[in-house]
Structure 1
Amino acid sequence: MLSLPFVALLASQGQALDLRNIQAAALYSQSHRGSALLVLQDGKEIFAEAENRFDLSREHILASGSKSFSCTIAVALQAEGKLKLDEPVSQSVQEWQQDPQKSSITISQLLHFTSGLPGKIGPSIVRLNKDMYGTAINTPLAAEPGKVFMYGNSHLAVFGEVVKRKTGLDPAIYLQKHILDPLGVKASWQRDQKGNPNLAGSASMTARDWATFGQMVLQKGQWHGKQVLPAQELQKCFQGSEALSTYGLNWWLNVPFNGTLDAGDEVPVQLAKAGKDQQQIAPSAPQNVVMAAGAFNQRLYLLPDEHVVVVRFGEGGDWSDEAFLKLLLGK
C-alpha cells in the first residue's frame, strides 16, 4: 500500500521564501568562496546559481557531507530485515566477538561516532589507504563504547564492512541500487587500494542530485508516491546520543548543545555560542533544521517548517551556518 503524498503528510505548503532573502544568502555564499547554491521548496526548484565560474552540471566533492548516506543505508537494511540499529557489530564482524569491549559496540554507536574507536584512521588521501575497513576493525579502542563522541572515518569504515558482509555488496553499490537509483540520481566515490569506498567523505554529486536526495529525506522517505525508506525508521537518523546531542546518525542537529565535543580539527560545524550552557549550530533557525556538512563548507540543509532543501557547494574560507540561514530566512 502506497503512503500518502508528501503534501498530505505535511498538511500544507511551506510559506514561500522571500526571493530577496534567497538572493542575500546567495551573495553571502558567493562572497565566501561559494561554487553553487540550489534551493527547493515544496519539491520545486526556486533558485539555482552557479557561483565563481562553477558549472551546475558538474559533480562536486561532498567531503563529510557523504556521511549522511550511511544512515539511509542502515535504514534500508533494517527495512529488509538484515540489520537492527541496536544489534552488536560483532554479529557481522566476528573478529570482535572475543573482545570484552568491542563485542558490545552496536550499529547505532558506529553511526553516532560513539563506538570508542579513535576518530581518524589512515591517510587523509583515500587512495593511499591499503584497506581502510580492515585497519578500522583492527584499531584498538580509545574510549569506552557509548561514552565519547569522536568524529572521523573509523566508525563508517567498520560500518562499510558490516554492509559488505550482510549483503555481499560494496556499500556504495548497495546505496546506489536501493536508494539513489529510485530517485534517478548517482554518486561517485573515491576508494582505497582494496576498492573500499570511503563512506565518511569521498562521494561526489551534482547539486541537483544531492538536493533530490535531501528532498526524499525531507519527505520522510517518500519519492513519487513510493516509500523508498520507511518514515519511522528514517526519523532515527535525527536523534542525538547521550555523548553529543547535536549529532544524530551522521546528520548534524540544530538543538541545544549537550555533551563533550572531543573531535579535533575535523568537526565541520561552527557551534554558535548562545549562552554559557547552551550552544546551537544556528540559533536563529528552527531547532528541527538538520544538515549534512563537509569540509570546505559543503552543506545540505533540510528545513522542515519551510519545506525547503538547500545545497551549497564551497571551496573553503570562513563560513557561518547561523549567518547564512539567518539571511535565507530573513531573521
Structure 2
Amino acid sequence: MKTLSVRIGGVTAESGRFTLIFPLLISAGGFFVSIRPETVSGLLIQSHKPMKIALLILLMLTGFLCCTNSVAPEPSSNSYDFSSVDRFIDNNTAVYQDSIAVLVSQNGKVIYQKEHNLTIDTKRLIASASKWLSGAVILALVDEKKLALSDTVGKFLPLFTRYGKGNITIRQLFSHTAGFPGDSPEKYEYRRDLTLAQAVDSIAVHTQLANPPGTVFRYGSASMHVAGRIAELVSGKSWQVLFNEKIAVPCDLRATYLLVNLRNPLIAGGAWTSARDYLNFLEMIVSKGVFRGNRVLSEQSVSEMLRDQTGGATIQATPYPANPYSKNPVASVRYGIGNWLDVVDASGKVLESSSPGLFGAHPWQDSKNQVAGIIFTRTTTRQSAVTSLKIREMIRNSIEK
C-alpha cells in the first residue's frame, strides 16, 4: 500500500501508519462479548482517499491535542510498601497476555506505577470504561440545568412518547434500568451507516422495552445512546465536541469516541485514550469534582455519580454480580451514573467504584483513601477481572496498613 503523508497544523501523519492502529470493531451483544477484526472499515483509511485521511487526522487531533500542555502527575514521597503488589503482578503477567500498565495516585500524586510491555501513555480502546466518562458529560449538563436526572425522555424526544417509552428518566438511562433489553436487538448503536440521531430514532420506533422502566437492571448500550442524543439536543453540540468542552479539556484528558464513528459515537463504549489521561478524570472524581484547582463537576453531581441509582431494581442481566474482594463480598454490585459501586462496607456505604471495559481497562476511585487508579492491559475483562480486583485489594491494604 502506498503511504500518503498529510500535514495539519505542523503535525505529519501517514496513512500507512494508521491502518493497523484500529484492527478491532465491537460487534457486541449486551456485554461487548464479540469482536471482529477489520481493516478500519468504518474509518475508510485508504491511500486514494486523502480527504478522508485528513478528516480522520483532524478528529484524532481533537482527542490528542485538546490540551497541549499536559502535566504528568507529580510523584509522591509516600512510604507505602507495594512490593507484594509488584510480586503479584510479576507472577500473573500471563493473565494479561504479558502486557500490563498500572498507575495509582493519592491526592493527585503518583504513589504506584508499573509498566510491563505496555506503557501508561499507550492509547487503547477502553470499551465500557467509556461509560464513566459519558456519565460525567450528562452530569455536567445537570450542573448547567440543561437536564435533570428526573427529566423524562419524552420531554426531549417526542418520538419516544409516541411509541410508549416517553416516561423513561435520564437517571434510568444511565443506570441500566430504563427497561431496554441491554443493547437494541437490531444493534442500532453499532451501525456505522447511521448518525446518533438516526440510531436513537430507530431505537424509539423499533426497540421494544423488555421491562417497565425502573423495575429491572439490564446492562447494555441502548439506553446510554438515547441519553447521548438528548445531550446533543440540549447543548446544540455534537457528542465529541461536548465531551471535549465539559470533561476532556478541563481534565487535561485526551480521548476520542472513535467507535462506532464520530457520526454515531458509541456512548457506552467507544472512547480511545491512555491510562495517564484517564487517571486525570479519576483524580477529578476523587477530589469531588475539582481538577488542579478548577471545578469540573459540582460536588453534588459527583455524589450522585457515586450513589446507587438503580432504585432497588431487580438485577437480571449483569456482567458483574459480585466483588469477592469487597469489604462486604456478599453484597450485589449496584450501579451509579456510569460506574459500578463495587466496594462497600457492612452498612452498604460505597468505598470504591469502578468502570471496567471489555478490553481490560479497569479504572477505579477510592474516595475513602483519596486514591485514583487504573489498570491497562491487552486482554479482556473476562480473563483479567478477578486478578485486577485482587490488585486493587492489595493496593488498598498496603495503604491502610
Q: How does 1:65-214 map to 2 (within 5 A)?
A: 65-100=129-164, 102-121=165-184, 122-123=186-187, 126=190, 128=192, 130-131=194-195, 132-138=199-205, 139-192=207-260, 195-214=263-282
Task: Tell me how far 1:192 sits from its aligned partner.
Answer: 3.9
Q: Which amino acid aligns with 2:145?
A: G
- Which of 108, 111, 120 is equivalent to 1:43? 108
CA offsets per residue over residues 245-273 of structure 1, 9 Å max, x none?
Answer: xxxxxxxxxxxxxx532226xx2565439
- Which of 357, 376, 385 is equivalent to 1:319? 385
After superposing the two structures, state which structure 1 stretch, 72-81 or 154-163, moved more. Answer: 72-81
Aligned match of 2:317 = 263
Q: Measured at CA, do residues 241 and 111 of structure 1 come closer, stay the same or move farther in structure 2, by a change above 3 Å?
A: same
Q: Which amino acid aligns with 2:128?
A: S
Q: Measured at CA, do residues 284 and 141 of structure 1 come closer, stay the same or move farther in structure 2, by a change above 3 Å?
A: closer
CA offsets per residue over residues 275-302 of structure 1, 9 Å max, x none?
Answer: 9964454579984111111113321111
- Kept in 1, the 8 Å contact 2:172–2:310? The answer is no
Q: Measured at CA, do residues 173 and 28 of structure 1 come closer, stay the same or move farther in structure 2, by a change above 3 Å?
A: farther
Q: How does 1:296-307 map to 2 (within 5 A)?
A: 296-307=359-370
Alignment size in residue pairs: 301
Q: Measured at CA, do residues 159 and 55 of structure 1 come closer, stay the same or move farther in structure 2, by a change above 3 Å?
A: same
- Which of 82, 87, 102 is equivalent to 1:19? 82
Q: Measured at CA, do residues 276 and 328 of structure 1 come closer, stay the same or move farther in structure 2, by a change above 3 Å?
A: closer
Aligned match of 1:294 = 357
- Kept in 1, the 8 Å contact 2:152–2:170? The answer is yes
Describe the SS at the equivalent of 1:289.
Answer: strand
Q: Measured at CA, do residues 297 and 154 of structure 1 come closer, stay the same or move farther in structure 2, by a change above 3 Å?
A: same
- Kept in 1, the 8 Å contact 2:126–2:269? The answer is yes
Q: How does 1:218-297 map to 2 (within 5 A)?
A: 218-243=286-311, 260-263=314-317, 267=319, 271-272=323-324, 278-279=331-332, 281=342, 287-297=350-360
Q: Measured at CA, do residues 242 and 157 of structure 1 come closer, stay the same or move farther in structure 2, by a change above 3 Å?
A: closer
Aligned match of 2:124 = 60
Q: Measured at CA, do residues 28 and 219 of structure 1 come closer, stay the same or move farther in structure 2, by a change above 3 Å?
A: farther
Unaligned segments of structure 1, at least 5 residues: 1-12, 245-258
Q: Measured at CA, do residues 226 and 237 of structure 1 come closer, stay the same or move farther in structure 2, by a change above 3 Å?
A: same
Structure with max Cα Rg: 2
Q: Which amino acid aligns with 1:70?
A: S
Task: Tell me how far 1:38 sits from its aligned partner.
Answer: 0.8
After superposing the two structures, state which structure 1 stretch, 201-210 or 232-241, moved more. Answer: 232-241
Task: Tell me how far 1:304 sits from its aligned partner.
Answer: 1.6
Q: Which amino acid aligns with 2:317?
A: A
Q: Which amino acid aligns with 2:157?
A: V
After superposing the two structures, state which structure 1 stretch, 116-125 or 174-183, moved more. Answer: 116-125
After superposing the two structures, state which structure 1 stretch, 317-326 or 230-239, moved more. Answer: 317-326
- In 1, Cα distance between the equivalents of 2:141 and 2:106? 29
After superposing the two structures, state which structure 1 stretch, 290-299 or 312-321, moved more. Answer: 312-321
Aligned match of 1:254 = none
- Kept in 1, the 8 Å contact 2:322–2:331? The answer is no
CA offsets per residue over residues 132-156 of structure 1, 9 Å max, x none?
Answer: 3333333121110100011001011
After superposing the two structures, state which structure 1 stretch, 185-194 or 86-95, moved more. Answer: 185-194
Task: Tell me how far 1:198 sits from its aligned partner.
Answer: 0.4
After superposing the two structures, state which structure 1 stretch, 17-26 or 85-94, moved more. Answer: 17-26
After superposing the two structures, state which structure 1 stretch, 86-95 or 295-304, moved more. Answer: 295-304
- In 1, Cα distance between the equivalents of 2:110 and 2:159? 48
Q: Measured at CA, do residues 299 and 97 of structure 1 come closer, stay the same or move farther in structure 2, by a change above 3 Å?
A: same
Aligned-residue sequence identity (percent) comes to 23
- In 2, Cα distance between the equivalents of 1:49 and 1:124? 39
Q: Measured at CA, do residues 126 and 96 of structure 1 come closer, stay the same or move farther in structure 2, by a change above 3 Å?
A: closer
